[in-house]
Copies of this chain bind each other. A is one copy, B any other.
């Protein structure tokens, strides 16, 4: 439940239309999902919404980062996606969220009433289009993620690094907001395997790890080759 989440501070935005891009991020595209939104803060590892919770809202990352996950009865966890500033999440078309969402690092999230968006979409064709396009991108990401099923551990990790670099708009160097466990659960590997492969890539001078959370891509060609 959104309302129950601990450590959240609510600030109601101006009761007007919000451009989709947020201050200070320099995104060029202007979203037409112009709705009354509420910016909320979520502390590290707090739940934004739960699995199977009714999906009353859409969400847009203002700052920080988010993971979505689904857990089997015995505790095995699959991470569906990571979201970074500018990304919209939670727009599954169903009435319930199939995945839970949690803040990885302290995050500010723009929370948007689903009904407001669908109402806007009913009036404004451009909004409807945007809704479709966003869902389509999400589908494409999920389909790409599926390709992990045919890939080796090394290929998964190499692909992961390239994907994150692209998502955070870094070319060579970036911070990983998520833990090794998150990475493992995203890739369908164990934390030990992920760690060993990081070490291996460091040994082959493909990457450098000044700290365990800071990655330098030293040989993009090698990574791309591994990514198949």
Contact = CB atoms under 8 A, between A and B. Distances in A.
A77 interface: yes
A73 B155 CA distance: 13
Copies in the complex: 2
A77 B150 contact: yes
Interface string A171-199: 00000000000000101100000000000
A228 B76 CA distance: 10
Nearest to A150: B76
A49 interface: no
Interface residues of A, number: 42
A128 interface: yes
Given A72-B150, A93-B133, A132-B128, A143 B142 contact: yes
B132 A93 contact: yes
Contact of A146 (B128, B129, B140, B142): B142
Interface in A114-172: 121-122, 125, 128-129, 131-133, 135-140, 142-151
22 contacts: A70-B143, A72-B150, A72-B151, A72-B228, A77-B150, A78-B147, A78-B149, A78-B150, A92-B139, A92-B140, A93-B132, A93-B133, A93-B136, A94-B140, A98-B140, A98-B143, A98-B144, A128-B132, A132-B132, A135-B139, A142-B142, A142-B143
Interface of A: 70, 72-74, 76-78, 80, 91-94, 98-99, 121-122, 125, 128-129, 131-133, 135-140, 142-151, 185, 187-188, 228
